[in-house]
Amino acid sequence: MSAVDGYRRSRGHTGRQSGCERGFVLPAAIFLLVILAALAGFMVTLSRTTNMSGALDIQGARAYQAARAGIEWAAWRVVQTPSQPCNTVFMPNDLAGTLAGFTVRVSCVPSGPYADGATSVMVYEVTSTATWGAPNSVDFVSRQIQGSFSK
């Protein structure tokens, strides 16, 4: 018997834990595992939300550019053939590049003619709406631009 064992026996230590100390590590380990799992789940959710937000932000910028393309098309149409209306719908296959897949609706309401000195002027109110996805879906994006010009 060593001196340490003799000291333990004289103090009443038998090498076994008392009843109140037994099993303390297991609940603490389970508690830590639950906390770490909850933290990991929160981090995954936060990462997914951040990625979705960034993707929708990019789609919103693309939708704005698609709607702007509709306004520019309407202006070109009025310059080329002012007597014909410039109402149309661009379907997803009509646009190319990063704007492919957007549906653009352009409406053009002419008013006038108005007298501007010796000339006659027509005013065109143009509304262009670009959409992506189905309404009430997670990836739905819509942008609308309104403008007016005269010729």
User: Would you state the structure tokens that stand for residue 110, as one six-digit string?
Assistant: 């002419």
30-65 tens-digit pLDDT: 888 999 988 888 888 887 777 777 778 888 888 998
Amino acid found at 60? G
In tens, the pLDDT along 10-19 reads: 555 555 555 5
Edge to edge, what strands does the sheet with 88-90 contain?
88-90, 103-116, 119-132, 141-150
- Average pLDDT for 1-15: 55
Quickly list DSSP for 78-137: HHH-TTS---EEE-TTTS-GGGTT-EEEEEEEEEEEEEETTEEEEEEEEEEEEEES-TTS
> What burial letters (b/e) apply to 48-65, b meaning 16+ CB within 10 Å?
eeeeeeeebeebeebbeb
Q: At which residue do the structure tokens 């981090």 appear?
A: 43
Q: What would the pLDDT profile of 81-118 be if each residue is shown by its tens digit?
A: 766 667 777 665 667 777 777 888 888 888 878 887 88
Report cis status (omega within 30 of 0) of the bond before 27. no
pLDDT of 135 strictly over 70: yes
**Mean of the per-residue pLDDT values of the chain:** 78
Buried b / exposed e across 95-110, counting CB within 10 Å, b at 16+? beeebeebbbbbbbeb
Torsion angles phi and psi, residue 146, rounded to 5: -120, 145
Decide: pTM greater than 0.75.
Answer: no
The full length of the chain comes to 151
Q: pLDDT at position 112, please? A: 76
Q: Identify the residue with better confidence: 27 or 63.
A: 63
